[in-house]
C-alpha cells in the first residue's frame, strides 16, 4: 500500500493509489492528523505555540543605504499574538503549568484595539488607571490581589519572573545570532519588563562580548538616567509609546549586560515610525519606531567617534 503524502502547501492529504489508477484528496481533520505525525515536514509550525518565535530578520533597505550601516529588525509582529510579548507569555505560562497552576484572568492598561483583541480571544480584561509602582493601585499590585482572590488564577508577574528573560535567552538571542551569522555590532531595545534586553543581551554577549547592548528609553522613563548617571530619575515628558519605559529596575533587568543607553523623544520615534511606513513599507507601532530611531542614533554617534579618531 502506498502511504499517504501530506502536501505542505495546502494541507491536503493525497493517497496516490496508482494501482487503483485514481487519486483521492481529502482534508485531514485535526484529530486524525496525529497518525501521520512522523511524516510531517520539519518546516511545519505546530499549532499556535509553534508560531511563537523564529521570526524573520528584516533588512531595512532604504535606511541601510541612507546610513551606510546594515539596520535590521526582528519581525515580531509575525508572532501569533502580533508582538514580541508572545515569547515571554509562552515561557511564563509554561512555567505556571509546570508548577500545576493555570490562569484564565488578566489585568492590564493598554490601547483599546488590544483590549478588543484580548476580549475576542476570551480574556477577561480589567483596565485600570496607570499609577506609579509604589501606589497600591498600580496594575501589578491589583493583578496580584485579583489573582489571589480567584480560584485557578495566577499572576504571571512578567516584570519580576525571570522566565521572561529566559524566553529571550533561549529563543530570541539564538535566532538573532544565527540569522546574522554572528556578524552583529550592536542591538538596541526599548524596555518595559527588561526581559528582551536582558535575555538577548546576555545570549549575544555569551557568543561575542564585543556586541554592544544599548537600551533605548522614551520620555518619562527612569532607565536612561539610571544607566547613564546611576540615578532613578524620570526624564522629561510622558511618552505616547506603549509597553516601554519603566520607573524601577525590575528583577528581569537586574544584572542585564547593558553597555549604554540612548534617549529617544516621541517626536523622533514617531518620525521614524512614519519613515518605516512610507520608505520601507512596514506599518509598525511607535515602540518599534523608537527602537529603530535608537539604532540610527547609535550609528551616528559611532560615526562621529570614528571621524574624531576616538574609536577605530
Ligand X SMILES: Cc1ncc(COP(=O)(O)O)c(C=O)c1O
* Residues at the site binding ligand X, with contacts judged by CB under 6 A: 83-85, 190-196, 242-244, 285, 287
Query: Between 266-275 and 286-307, two packed helices, what is the crossing angle to 10 degrees?
Result: 100
Cell 485535526, located at residue: 30
Which residue is at the shortest CB distance from ligand X?
243
31: how many CB neighbours lie within 10 A of its CB? 7
Contact 103, 153 (CB under 8 A): yes
Q: In terms of DSSP bridges, do strands 72-74 and 105-106 run parallel, antiparallel, or are they unpaired?
A: unpaired
Q: Which is nearer to ligand X, 13 or 191 (CB)?
A: 191
261-to-30, 40, 236 alpha-carbon distances in Å = 48, 45, 16
Smaller CB separation from ligand X, 248 or 303: 248
Q: Which is nearer to ligand X, 173 or 195 (CB)?
A: 195
Least distance CB 212 / ligand X (angstroms):
18
- Our CB check for ligand X shows the closer of 6 and 93 to be 93
- State in angstroms the smallest separation of the CB of 171 from ligand X: 12
Q: Which residue has the cell 527588561?
A: 194
Shortest spacing between CB 34 and ligand X, in angstroms: 35
Contacts 24+ apart (CB under 8 A), 207-210: 207/177, 207/182, 208/182, 208/184
Would you mind telling me the total number of residues written for the chain in this entry? 312
* C-beta of 13 vs 192, nearer to ligand X: 192
- Rounded to the nearest whole angstrom, what is the least distance from the CB of residue 25 to ligand X in the complex? 42
Rounded to an integer, what distance in angstroms lies between the CA atom of residue 54 and that of residue 173?
11
Least Å distance, CB 28 to ligand X, is 36
Amino acid at each position: 500500500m502506498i502511504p499517504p503524502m501530506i502536501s505542505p502547501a495546502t494541507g491536503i492529504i493525497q493517497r496516490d493509489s496508482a494501482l487503483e489508477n485514481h487519486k483521492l484528496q481529502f482534508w485531514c481533520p485535526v484529530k486524525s492528523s496525529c497518525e501521520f505525525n512522523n511524516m510531517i515536514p520539519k518546516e511545519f509550525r505546530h499549532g499556535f505555540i509553534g508560531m511563537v518565535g523564529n521570526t524573520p530578520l528584516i533588512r531595512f533597505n532604504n535606511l541601510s543605504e541612507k546610513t551606510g550601516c546594515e539596520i535590521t529588525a526582528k519581525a515580531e509582529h509575525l508572532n501569533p499574538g502580533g508582538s514580541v510579548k508572545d515569547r515571554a507569555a509562552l515561557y511564563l505560562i509554561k512555567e505556571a503549568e509546570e508548577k500545576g497552576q493555570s490562569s484564565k484572568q488578566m489585568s492590564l492598561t493598554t490601547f483599546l484595539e488590544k483590549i478588543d483583541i484580548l476580549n475576542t480571544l476570551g480574556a477577561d480584561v480589567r483596565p485600570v488607571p496607570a499609577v506609579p509602582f509604589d501606589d497600591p493601585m498600580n496594575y501589578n499590585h491589583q493583578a496580584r490581589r485579583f489573582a489571589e482572590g480567584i480560584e485557578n488564577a495566577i499572576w504571571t508577574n512578567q516584570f519580576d519572573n525571570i522566565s521572561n528573560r529566559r524566553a529571550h535567552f533561549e529563543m530570541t538571542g539564538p535566532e538573532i545570532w544565527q540569522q546574522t551569522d554572528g556578524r552583529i555590532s550592536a542591538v538596541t531595545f526599548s524596555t518595559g519588563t527588561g526581559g528582551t534586553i536582558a535575555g538577548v543581551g546576555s545570549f549575544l554577549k555569551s557568543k561575542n562580548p564585543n556586541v554592544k547592548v544599548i537600551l533605548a528609553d522614551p520620555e518619562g522613563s527612569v532607565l536612561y538616567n539610571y544607566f547613564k548617571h546611576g540615578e532613578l530619575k524620570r526624564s522629561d515628558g510622558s511618552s505616547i509609546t506603549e509597553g516601554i519605559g519603566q520607573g524601577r529596575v525590575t528583577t528581569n533587568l537586574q544584572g542585564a549586560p547593558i553597555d549604554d543607553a540612548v534617549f529617544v523623544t516621541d517626536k523622533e520615534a514617531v518620525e521614524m515610525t512614519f519613515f518605516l511606513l512610507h520608505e520601507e513599507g512596514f506599518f509598525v507601532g511607535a515602540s518599534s519606531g523608537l527602537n529603530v530611531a535608537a539604532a540610527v542614533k547609535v550609528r551616528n554617534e559611532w560615526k562621529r567617534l570614528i571621524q574624531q579618531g576616538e574609536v577605530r
